[in-house]
Amino acid sequence: MIQVENLTHTYGGRKALAGVSFEVRKGEIFGLLGPNGGGKSTLFRILSTMMVPTSGRASIAGHDVVKEAAAVRRQVGVVFQTQSLDKALTVDENLRAQGHLHGLSGALLTERIERAVERLGLADRRKDLVETLSGGLRRRVEIAKALLHRPLVLLMDEASTGLDPAARRDLSRHVENLRDNEGVTILLTSHILEEADRCDRLVLLHQGAVVAEGSPGELRARIGGDVVVLESGEAESLAGRIAERFGLPATAMDGRVRVEISNGHRFIAEVVEAFPGAVESVGLHKPTLEDVFVRETGAILE
């Protein structure tokens, strides 16, 4: 549904995208996960036809985002990171104006609005001014607005930023409903692990390049077993000594030593005994996408 081939973009001298390629299949939720400044927003602007890339190609539903921008705009609904609602207008008025921009009017538009507010649980807020709505509700109005023209693809840029965990889960649930009941393909950018974990597939973006691609499960499976995190005042030297003694790759970062190992609990006992006093606290967890990111880039996500 979305094809991205060797896309690059430079702002002045700074390279924001350095040859990014991936493919999004029909009816999946696809995530772009990476730290701020990793290239997500640039990619989002190019896919939403707001900006022309320096080189490479991208197409949505078979239409080139540069040469056939108008066709792409008809097939794509966009939810921005910042608000795109008019706060001085009601929910209904915002939706109506959006419908007009897409050439919808009359009974058809009314029907589409009714369906969209129904779907996103906004039916009782239609007459309310947007400025009186909570952050979570506003995001839902944004989605309702983006869906009015029945796009095949929904692009969402950091849509859950600024929402509390409950509102974020609620938003994810609505997005999953869209995929399941409407067959909408969704591409979202995020720097929040929990959100990325709910994607069907994702790419990890770092410094404008794709460092890993796959389902959250596949990506996590790259790390066998457990991740052990040791807090230490002398993380660098501890990492070196662990590598030497146990023959394991150990990385030191921010006063912490991270070790990937299959039998974490046994290793913890051994390491604490081997270096008495060097370890201040110990943590053990199953691999997360953050661990995958650290492993692939040597940098942390947030």
Partner 1 sequence: MPAATLWQRELLRFWRQKSRVLGVVASPLVFWLLIGYGSNDLARFYSGALVLTVMFSAIFSTISIIEDRREGFLLSMLVSPAPRTSMVLGKILGSATLAWIQGLIFLAFAPLAGVSIRPLELVVVAAAILLISFTLTGLGFVIAWRMESTSGFHAIMNLLLVPMWMVSGSLFPMATAHGWVKAIMWINPLTYSIALLNHTLHLPNAAPGALASLVVTAAFGLVLLAASGLMASQKATHSAA
Residues lying near partner 1 in the complex (CB under 8 A) = 11, 45, 48-52, 54, 70, 73-74, 76, 78, 80, 82-86, 88-89, 93-94, 96-98, 100-103, 105, 145-146
- Between the alpha carbon of residue 96 and those of residues 25, 85, 92, 99, 109, the distances in Å are 31, 12, 6, 5, 7
CB 257 within 8 A of CB 251: yes
Q: In whole angstroms, what is the distance from residue 44 CA to residue 22 CA?
A: 13
CB 58 within 8 A of CB 51: no
Report how far apart the first and last C-alpha atoms of the chain are (Å, whole number): 30
Instruction: Rank residues 93 and 234 by Cβ distance to partner 1 and give the closer one.
Output: 93
Report, in Å, the least distance between residue 109 CB and partner 1: 11
Report, in Å, the least distance between residue 1 CB and partner 1: 17
Report, in Å, the least distance between residue 293 CB and partner 1: 25
Report, in Å, the least distance between residue 56 CB and partner 1: 13
Instruction: Rank residues 55 and 134 by Cβ distance to partner 1 and give the closer one.
Output: 55
DSSP 49-84: TSS--SEEEEEETTEETTTTHHHHHHHEEEE-SS--
Report, in Å, the least distance between residue 247 CB and partner 1: 48
Within 10 angstroms of residue 46's Cβ, the number of other Cβ atoms is 23
CB 154 within 8 A of CB 185: yes
Report, in Å, the least distance between residue 12 CB and partner 1: 9
Q: What is the DSSP letter of 251?
A: E
Instruction: Rank residues 6 and 84 by Cβ distance to partner 1 and give the closer one.
Output: 84
Instruction: Rank residues 77 and 264 by Cβ distance to partner 1 and give the closer one.
Output: 77
Please state at what angle helix 106-119 crosses helix 135-147, rounded to 10 degrees.
140
Instruction: Rank residues 147 and 261 by Cβ distance to partner 1 and give the closer one.
Output: 147
Name the burial class of residue 106, with classes exposed (0-12), middle (13-18) and buried (19+) by CB atoms within 10 angstroms of its CB.
Answer: exposed
Report, in Å, the least distance between residue 165 CB and partner 1: 24
Report, in Å, the least distance between residue 80 CB and partner 1: 5
Instruction: Rank residues 107 and 166 by Cβ distance to partner 1 and give the closer one.
Output: 107
Tokens 């030191």 locate to 252
Instruction: Rank residues 94 and 288 by Cβ distance to partner 1 and give the closer one.
Output: 94
CA 31 to chain centre: 4
Token pair for residue 202? 């994702």
HSE toward the beta carbon, residue 272, CA cutoff 13 A? 14
Instruction: Rank residues 109 and 289 by Cβ distance to partner 1 and give the closer one.
Output: 109
Token pair for residue 24? 């999004």
Tokens 């947007």 locate to 130
